């Protein structure tokens, strides 16, 4: 375990099980649809890479970068799209892949944004859901695991661009970010 990690919240083995379970649900729901997976960078990279390898359907992928954090630990609440999708979403079924749903502000904004761009449907698959921090009514369609109100890192999740490469999800020691 990394020296800055207080405890492992989701192990490598648990992550593998989560990915397999979500892939099966997504395959079932999207079996007869032409869909696109949109990963929200940078946090979703590890999760999306593993998830897309397990889904036995044809689909396209694209990415978006949206931010409400900066380098802090609290969402600013103001959403900014830094990089938009490059493939048209009009008349497409969209599956947004996200690492964590916290306040819900970013995902709520992006879902509405994609609908205004003509998406046929927009669903969200999140690795981690932190409902205790929700600021807007938002429930992801696919949830890997519900987590407590802790600051987590690893498997794509970061603090100040560090720890993304950890193969598990761990609780970051408060002394690192306070």
Which active-site residues does the annotation give?
A: 102
Q: How many angstroms separate the CA atoms of 168 and 153, rounded? A: 8
Structure tokens at 145: 């695991």
Q: CA angle at residue 13 from 4 to 3, to 5 degrees?
A: 10
Q: Exposed, middle or buried by CB within 10 Å (0-12, 13-18, 19+), for 62?
A: middle
Q: How many angstroms separate the CA atoms of 111 and 124, rounded? A: 8
Report which of 154, 69, 142 is spatially closest to residue 106, judged by C-alpha positions.
69
Question: For the chain, how long is the longest CA-to-CA vector?
Answer: 49
């Amino acid at each position: 375990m990394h020296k800055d990690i207080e405890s492992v919240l989701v192990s490598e083995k648990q992550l593998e099980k989560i990915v397999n379970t979500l892939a099966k649900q997504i395959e079932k729901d999207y079996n007869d649809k032409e869909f696109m997976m949109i990963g929200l960078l940078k946090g979703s990279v590890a999760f999306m890479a593993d998830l897309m390898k397990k889904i036995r359907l044809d689909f396209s992928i694209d990415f978006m970068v949206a931010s409400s954090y900066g380098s802090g630990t609290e969402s600013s609440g103001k959403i900014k799209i830094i990089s938009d999708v490059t493939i048209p979403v009009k008349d497409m079924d969209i599956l947004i892949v996200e690492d964590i749903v916290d306040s819900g502000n970013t995902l709520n904004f992006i879902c509405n944004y994609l609908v205004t761009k003509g998406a046929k449907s927009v669903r969200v698959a999140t690795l981690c859901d932190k409902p205790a921090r929700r600021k807007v009514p938002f429930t992801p369609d696919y949830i890997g695991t519900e987590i407590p109100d802790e600051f987590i890192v690893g498997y794509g999740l970061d603090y100040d661009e560090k720890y993304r490469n950890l193969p598990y999800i761990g609780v970051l020691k408060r002394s690192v970010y306070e």
